[in-house]
Every structure is written in structure tokens, then in C-alpha cells.
């Protein structure tokens, strides 16, 4: 299927999923960040079919983007969406980010709905409510990609965010902004993630585009923005 977001053409699998992602990224501005760098370096982990890339290129046309997407079902559409929109300075890795280089089982949608943005290393994620199939994907450690200044680290990793952030704590000084989805899985703790970030970053927490000031839920999907303290 195909649709448009502004000037961009987007090929996608599932219409409901597409509109949900479009609303999250383009309407709610979930990945908005400020940079005085005319060519910001962005690392996009969990790029899926590339709607986030289109958003970043709309925000910063001269940005340089390094993408990681392990799901082979999504890689072809990601490359196609980059190509048909003539997007430049995007490097795509067909791998996942974890704490070390290697291979690992990934669980993806096994229904006939083609909701391939759903993918997790945690078996029976989403409370076992979704039928999944197991595939094997390549994994990489992130540290080697953040030896120089990173203007934004974006993550949508379906429950691996605490593990990844813990593995790069010593490199926080090289990362100006971190934006990620927090998934309330059994192997994660929101307070531990916030404590991990709080020494280096000012933190904003959003629920469906709404900034939360108090009564932060720990059992909901949230967007967390961490801005480096100057």
C-alpha cells in the first residue's frame, strides 16, 4: 500500500499501523529535537519502514542518519521509501543494537495483519496477546558508532531500551539528545532508566504527545526525551 505524508511518498504494510506511526511522529512530533548543527548526526535504532527518517529530513534536510533495522520484512520497504523520496546521506544497517555483536532470536508478528513494527527480543511480549514467529537477526554493539558527537540517538526497540542505555552510559557525553519509547516489559524498570539518565540529562516524559509533569505511569508506553545538561 502507498500513501503520502506531506511531500513524501510512503509504502507500508498495514493501513492502521501506518496512520498510527504517522500520527505519533508527524502530528505529535514525538522525535522533535533542537540542534544548532546544520548537518546533525542522527542514529535511528528501530527505523522500521523509514517514517522517522522522513521526519528528520523534513526537520533537518542536511542531516546525516545512521539507521538500524533488523526485521527483514521491513528492510526492503525502508530502502524503497528512502529511494523513491530521493533521500541522501542515509546509511542502513540490517541489524539490531544490543550489548554485543552476534546473532539473536527476534519475535515478529505472525498474524495476517502484517504489523511488522511489532518485534521484540522478549518472547511472549505484549502479554502474549499477539501471535509471533521467531527469526534470527544480526546484533551490534552501539559504542563503536558514538565515538564522535551524536546530535540525536533515537530508539524504538520494543523493550531493549534499558539494556542498550546501560551499555553506553560511559558515552553519554558524546550524545546531545536521546529520544526513545519506553516499553513497560517485565525486564525493565522506568525509575532505573530515569536514574541512569538523570545525572547527564534533563528529562521530559510524554504520553501520546502530552508532556507529563507528575503522576508518571510505569505501565504505559511513553516517549522519553533526554536533553544533555550544558
Q: Which three cell numbers stand for residue 73?
A: 520484512
- pLDDT for res 115: 53
* pLDDT reported for residue 23: 96
Domain around 11: 2-228
Per-residue DSSP letters for 121-155? Answer: SSTTTGGG-S-EEEEEEEEEESGGG-SS-BSEEEE
> 63 φ, ψ to 5°?
-65, 155
At 185 the pLDDT is 85
Total domains in the chain come to 1
- What predicted TM-score, i.e. pTM, was given to this entire model? 0.93
Burial 66-92 (b: 16+ CB within 10 A, else e): bbbbbbebbbebbbebbeebebeebeb
pLDDT of residue 133: 77
pLDDT per residue rounded down to tens, the chain (230 residues): 999 999 999 999 989 999 999 999 999 999 999 999 999 999 999 999 999 999 999 999 999 999 999 998 899 999 999 999 999 999 999 999 999 999 998 887 766 655 556 666 766 555 455 667 788 999 999 999 998 999 999 999 988 999 999 999 999 999 999 999 999 988 899 999 999 999 999 999 999 999 999 899 999 999 999 999 97
Distances (CA, A) of 21 to 4, 70, 143, 190: 13, 18, 28, 23
> What cell does 112 get?
495476517
Distance CA 204, CA 222 (A): 10
- Number of DSSP helices (H) and strands (E) in the chain, helices first: 5, 14
Q: Give pLDDT, residue 132.
A: 75
Question: What is the DSSP secondary-structure string of 39-58?
Answer: S-EEEEES-TTSHHHHHHHH
Q: Under DSSP, is residue 14 helix (H, G, I), strand (E, B) or coil?
A: coil
Give CA–CA dist 84/11, Å, rounded. 10
Q: Which of 75, 117, 96, 207 lies closest to 161 in space, CA to CA?
A: 96
Q: What is the CATH number of the domain that holds 203?
A: 3.40.50.150
pLDDT of residue 102: 95
pLDDT score, position 187: 84
Amino acid at each position: 500500500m502507498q500513501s503520502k505524508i506531506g511531500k513524501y511518498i510512503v509504502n507500508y504494510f498495514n493501513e492502521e499501523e501506518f496512520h498510527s506511526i504517522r500520527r505519533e511522529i508527524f502530528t505529535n512530533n514525538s522525535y522533535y529535537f533542537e540542534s544548532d548543527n546544520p548537518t546533525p548526526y542522527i542514529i535511528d535504532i528501530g527505523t522500521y519502514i523509514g517514517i522517522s527518517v522522513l521526519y528528520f529530513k523534513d526537520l533537518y534536510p542536511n542531516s546525516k542518519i545512521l539507521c538500524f533495522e533488523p526485521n527483514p520484512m521491513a528492510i526492503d520497504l525502508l530502502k524503497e521509501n528512502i529511494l523513491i523520496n530521493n533521500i541522501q546521506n542515509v546509511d542502513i544497517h540490517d541489524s539490531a543494537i544490543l550489548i554485543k555483536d552476534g546473532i539473536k532470536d527476534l519475535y515478529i508478528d505472525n498474524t495476517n495483519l502484517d504489523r511488522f513494527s511489532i518485534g521484540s527480543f522478549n518472547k511472549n511480549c505484549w502479554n502474549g496477546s499477539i501471535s509471533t514467529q521467531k527469526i534470527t537477526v544480526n546484533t551490534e554493539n552501539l559504542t563503536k558508532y558514538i565515538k564522535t558527537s551524536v546530535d540525536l540517538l533515537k530508539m524504538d526497540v520494543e523493550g531493549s531500551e534499558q539494556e542498550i542505555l546501560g551499555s553506553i552510559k560511559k558515552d553519554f557525553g558524546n550524545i546531545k539528545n536521546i529520544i526513545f519509547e519506553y516499553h513497560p516489559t517485565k525486564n525493565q524498570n522506568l525509575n532505573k532508566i530515569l536514574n541512569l539518565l538523570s545525572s547527564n540529562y534533563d528529562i521530559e516524559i510524554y504520553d501520546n504527545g502530552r508532556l507529563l509533569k507528575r503522576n508518571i505511569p510505569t505501565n504505559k508506553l511513553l516517549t522519553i526525551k533526554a536533553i544533555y545538561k550544558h
